[in-house]
Amino acid sequence: MNRSSRRRALDLAARGTVYAVATLALLPLSLVLIYTVVNGWPAVSHLDFFIHVERPVGIPGAGVAHALIGTVITVGLASVVALPLGIIGGIHLAEYGAHRWAAWVRLASDVLVGAPSIAIGLFAYALFVAPFHQFSALAGSAALAILMLPVVVRTTEGAVALVPPGLRESGLALGLARWRVSLRLILPAAAPGVITGALLAISRAAGETAPLLFTSFGNRFLNLNPTRPISALPLIVYHDALTPYPALVTQAWGAALVLILLALIMNLASRFALRRQLRMAERLS
Amino acid sequence: MAAEVEQTQPRPPTPAPDGYRWFTSAVSLAPPLVLTCLVVVIGREAWPAISHYGLRFLIVRAWNPVRLDFGALTFIYGTLVTSALALLAAFPVGVAVALFLAEPGARRVRSVMGTGIELLAAIPSVVYGIWGLYVLAPWLLLHVSGPVSQRLGTLPLFAGPARQSSILTASVVLAVMVLPTLAAVSREVVRAIPAGLKEASFALGATWWETTWRVVLPAARPGIFGATILALGRALGETIAVTMTIGNRPEVQSSVFGSAYTLASVIANEFTEATGQLYPAALLELGLILIMITLLVNVGALLLVRRVTEPGPAR
């Protein structure tokens, strides 16, 4: 075998190996999806699962309605705080982001994205649980809001940066105030990208367990009062999966299936929004 | 002309922009503020333990809530070992995915792969936990750790008895969880390499593999290193999936088939049950150690990745 064909053979072998190893990455995704659907289906195929609350083990008709509502309340309250703050912060970074501390704000946001979620739970516990001697949905929302904030800041900044500068300049040339330009012109033009970030942040918050363990704590009953402990879907998966009762384990798989579906839907919706943003940016420039 | 314009305008340019600017910049300070408070508040709450145990806390192996005898070493060990093993497994796959995704052509296949990796990142950690606990752990015991510990049990690394919930199981779950970070950041790094470098290599007659091995990977090395460290930060702080699969036994042992305990897991398991003053403070000190490690790792990684993907004029 001469040198050239040896090189070509090596190339082929290496390329094959790299591609095969890369495909390996899709294996865990399919395994997690398949097993969650197979194990969770017996639970979610009953309507009771969605409209009833927990019952003593062995009594049929148990459901996770209290956790569904808990997740909606906790994540909803967190979004009310984190989305406006994050969007305003992101607009600032994109519009005035050349000054020195902007670099620090970016670094701090990126570091906060990677901060351990359990530590954020401890932080929320120290601030919102310990002083009141009461676990509460509000404390859980605070922890989730801290998790969401940096994600929203950075994605909003990225979306606003995609808006062509001509739009901003034409607004300013018409004599509009800076705030009017950024809220009435830039933000609508960046809307799909901002929505992408918001959806990603909400999806991340809805799946978090660790920050809720000692903030919203969990609750076996339906609770609508945000100053009391409240349940959440991830907490159901975590607590029920570790019990020795097959019925509860099935229920945990069911809740896991609901969580996965929520995450996938949010993720696909955010990709759709992002694609619209890219198309819009192309058209405007 | 300019004077005329001044006169036709009844009022000077609105002072509103300044107010707007200051308002938004105040809001944008929220992330650094939260980060600072995070460290300060947890440090303050952990103070009773810090002042009581001093630096000894870092090197003591004991964890005995009854005798209030606490040390962090076991948990630091568990955290570092699982994260290191996870990276070892995820690194080749992540780099291969990055190389694959950064290639031109075959857009359909690459977009499937890209979407798959993103969805992998979207799955909540508790779902990885329940999957690791009920699917992966029994499979690993039956097909990997059981047979291997029987044949190679004399090596300390593979010593039995093999357990379902083990360092190995937790590491595999972690590897899957950090793979998206590793792959996505590495892809950005590989993409940021100037096309001219690759073209020059191809023009000299190099094959794809020679170009990748001798040009692309060396140029991407600092960035891929940064991506790995960033993934390490994620692995160190991961809580729920690890808690469900590692076995939660405060032991330091050489075998990867044995159980262990991590910083994040012990906080998750014991914090709500910790009574008195020193016990919760000791757990909070573990939290502080975890935060400091991940902060250092993340800042280092981000600076490395930025140097590659946003090349400054100084390079």
SS3 (DSSP) at B21: helix
> What local confidence, expressed as pLDDT, does residue B79 receive?
97
Q: Which of A17, A23, A26, A118 to mutate to test the interface with B (most CBs of B within 10 A)?
A: A118
pTM of the entire structure?
0.93
> What local confidence, expressed as pLDDT, does residue A1 receive?
66
- Same domain? For A77 and A27 the reply is no
Mean pLDDT of B184-190: 92
Q: B123 vs A263: CB contact, 8 Å cut-off?
A: yes
Is A159:A193 a contact under the CB 8 Å cutoff? yes
Q: Is the pLDDT of residue B17 over 60?
A: no
Q: Which residue has the higher pLDDT, A145 or B159?
A: A145
Mean pLDDT of A232-242: 96
Query: Cβ of B5 under 8 Å from any chain A Cβ?
Result: no
> What local confidence, expressed as pLDDT, does residue B9 receive?
52
For residue A232, give the CATH number of its domain. Answer: 1.10.3720.10
In chain A, helix, strand, coil percent, each to 5?
Answer: 80, 0, 20
Interhelix angle B217-237/A117-124, rounded to 10 degrees, is: 40
- Same domain? For A223 and A184 the reply is yes
Residues A198 and A148: their CA atoms lie apart, in Å, by 8
Residues B48 and B40: their CA atoms lie apart, in Å, by 14
The minimal CB distance from B127 to the residues A32, A111, A242 is found for A32
The region that residue A187 occupies, defined by phi over 0 for left and psi between -120 and 50 for alpha, beta otherwise, is: alpha
CA distance A59 to chain B (A): 23
Size of interface A-B (CB pairs under 8 A): 262
Q: Which residues fall within 8 angstroms of residue A176, CB to CB, at 6 or more apart?
A: A184, A185
> What local confidence, expressed as pLDDT, does residue B128 receive?
97
* Helix extents (H) in chain B: 2-8, 16-28, 30-53, 73-102, 107-122, 125-131, 137-140, 146-152, 167-192, 195-203, 208-211, 217-237, 240-245, 263-270, 278-309
Dump pLDDT digits (tens) for A70-95: 999 999 999 999 999 999 999 999 98
Q: Is the pLDDT of residue B12 over 60?
A: no
B177, two tokens:
């969880």
Do you know the residue count of chain B? Answer: 315
Q: How many CB atoms lie within 10 A of CB A25?
A: 23
Is B117:B179 a contact under the CB 8 Å cutoff? yes
Query: Cβ of B96 under 8 Å from any chain A Cβ?
Result: yes
Residue of chain B with shortest Cα separation from A205: B124
Query: Cβ of B78 under 8 Å from any chain A Cβ?
Result: no
Residues A267 and A269: their CA atoms lie apart, in Å, by 5
B204, two tokens:
């000299």
> What local confidence, expressed as pLDDT, does residue B11 receive?
55
String of DSSP letters for A160-187:
HHHS-HHHHHHHHHTT--HHHIIIIIIH
Residue of chain B with shortest Cα separation from A266: B122
Q: Is the pLDDT of residue A120 over 70?
A: yes
Parent domain of A213: 46-284
> What local confidence, expressed as pLDDT, does residue B313 receive?
41
> What local confidence, expressed as pLDDT, does residue B213 receive?
94
- Please give the domain boundaries of chain B with CATH numbers for all domains: 39-309 (1.10.3720.10)
Residue of chain B with shortest Cα separation from A20: B96
- Same domain? For A10 and A78 the reply is no
> What local confidence, expressed as pLDDT, does residue B102 receive?
85
The minimal CB distance from B31 to the residues A32, A105, A271 is found for A105
Q: Which of B5, B14, B35, B123 to mutate to test the interface with A (most CBs of A within 10 A)?
A: B123
Mean pLDDT taken over chain B: 90
Q: Which of A148, A151, A137 is nearest to A82 (CA)?
A: A148
> What local confidence, expressed as pLDDT, does residue B306 receive?
84
Query: Cβ of B292 under 8 Å from any chain A Cβ?
Result: no
- Same domain? For A247 and A274 the reply is yes
Q: Which of A106, A111, A149, A231 to mutate to test the interface with B (most CBs of B within 10 A)?
A: A111
Q: Is the pLDDT of residue B62 over 80?
A: yes
Lowest mean pLDDT among A97-106, A246-255, B274-283: A97-106
Model confidence band, residue B19 (pLDDT cutoffs 50, 70, 90): confident
- Same domain? For A78 and A14 the reply is no
Q: B117 vs A108: CB contact, 8 Å cut-off?
A: no
- Same domain? For A228 and A177 the reply is yes
> What local confidence, expressed as pLDDT, does residue A101 receive?
84
C-alpha triplet B53, B56, B58: angle, nearest 5°: 105
CA distances from B185 to A83, A145, B119, B301, B305 (A): 25, 25, 15, 11, 8
Percent of chain A's residues with pLDDT above 70: 100
Model confidence band, residue A38 (pLDDT cutoffs 50, 70, 90): very high
B17 preceded by a cis bond (ω within 30 of 0): no
The minimal CB distance from B129 to the residues A182, A238, A249 is found for A238
Mean pLDDT of A128-141: 95
Is A197:A36 a contact under the CB 8 Å cutoff? no
Q: Which of B36, B112, B131 to mutate to test the interface with A (most CBs of A within 10 A)?
A: B131
Q: Is the pLDDT of residue A33 over 60?
A: yes
Dump pLDDT digits (tens) for B246-260: 999 998 988 999 999
Q: Is the pLDDT of residue A255 over 90?
A: yes
Dump pLDDT digits (tens) for B68-123: 999 999 999 999 999 999 999 999 999 999 999 988 767 888 888 989 999 999 99
Model confidence band, residue B310 (pLDDT cutoffs 50, 70, 90): confident
Strands B63-64 and B69-70 turn out to be antiparallel
CA distance A251 to chain B (A): 12
Q: B298 vs A111: CB contact, 8 Å cut-off?
A: yes
Place of tokens 């009022």: B11
Q: A10 vs B244: CB contact, 8 Å cut-off?
A: no
Mean pLDDT of B131-141: 96
Mean pLDDT of A60-66: 91
- At position B192, the amino acid (one-letter code) is A
SS3 (DSSP) at B216: helix
Residues B284 and B33: their CA atoms lie apart, in Å, by 20
Dump pLDDT digits (tens) for A155-214: 999 999 988 888 989 999 999 988 899 999 999 999 999 999 999 999 999 999 999 999
- Same domain? For A138 and A29 the reply is no
- Same domain? For A13 and A125 the reply is no
Mean pLDDT of B265-287: 94
Mean pLDDT of B258-266: 95
> What local confidence, expressed as pLDDT, does residue A28 receive?
95
> Taking the alpha carbons of A99, A103, A104, A109 in that order, is the dihedral positive or negative?
positive
Q: Using only C-alpha atoms, what is the Rg of chain B?
A: 25
- Same domain? For A8 and A63 the reply is no
Q: Is the pLDDT of residue B7 over 80?
A: no
Percent of chain A's residues with pLDDT above 90: 80
Query: Cβ of B239 under 8 Å from any chain A Cβ?
Result: yes
Place of tokens 């630091």: B76
Query: Cβ of B125 under 8 Å from any chain A Cβ?
Result: yes
Mean pLDDT of B149-171: 91
CA distances from A244 to A39, A52, A55, B240, B303 (A): 16, 22, 16, 18, 46
CA distance B69 to chain A (A): 22
Q: Which residues fall within 8 angstroms of residue B162, CB to CB, at 6 or more apart?
A: B141, B145, B146, B148, B149, B257
> What local confidence, expressed as pLDDT, does residue B10 receive?
56
DSSP-derived letter for residue B159 is -
Q: Which residues fall within 8 angstroms of residue B232, CB to CB, at 6 or more apart?
A: B83, B87, B178, B297, B301
Half-sphere CA count of A259, side-chain side, radius 13 A: 34
CA distance B98 to chain A (A): 8
Buried b (16+ CB within 10 A) or exposed e, B1-18: eeeeeeeeeeeeeeeebe
- Same domain? For A24 and A75 the reply is no
Number of structural domains (chain A) is 2
Residue of chain A with shortest Cα separation from B92: A21
Is B300:B222 a contact under the CB 8 Å cutoff? no
The minimal CB distance from A25 to the residues B25, B183, B236 is found for B183
- Same domain? For A115 and A227 the reply is yes
Residues from chain B contacting residue A178 (CB–CB below 8 Å):
16-17, 20-21
Q: What are phi and psi of B69, to 5 degrees?
A: -110, 100
Q: Which residue has the higher pLDDT, B160 or B26?
A: B26
* Assembly ipTM: 0.94
Q: Which run of H or E residues covers position A10?
A: helix A3-24
Q: Is the pLDDT of residue B6 over 60?
A: no
Cα first-last separation, chain A: 55
> What local confidence, expressed as pLDDT, does residue A56 receive?
87
Q: Which residues fall within 8 angstroms of residue B312, CB to CB, at 6 or more apart?
A: none
- Same domain? For A61 and A33 the reply is no
> What local confidence, expressed as pLDDT, does residue B107 receive?
83
> What local confidence, expressed as pLDDT, does residue A205 receive?
96
Query: Cβ of B120 under 8 Å from any chain A Cβ?
Result: yes
Is A238:A248 a contact under the CB 8 Å cutoff? no
Q: Is the pLDDT of residue B314 over 50?
A: no
Q: Is the pLDDT of residue B16 over 60?
A: no
CA distance A224 to chain B (A): 23
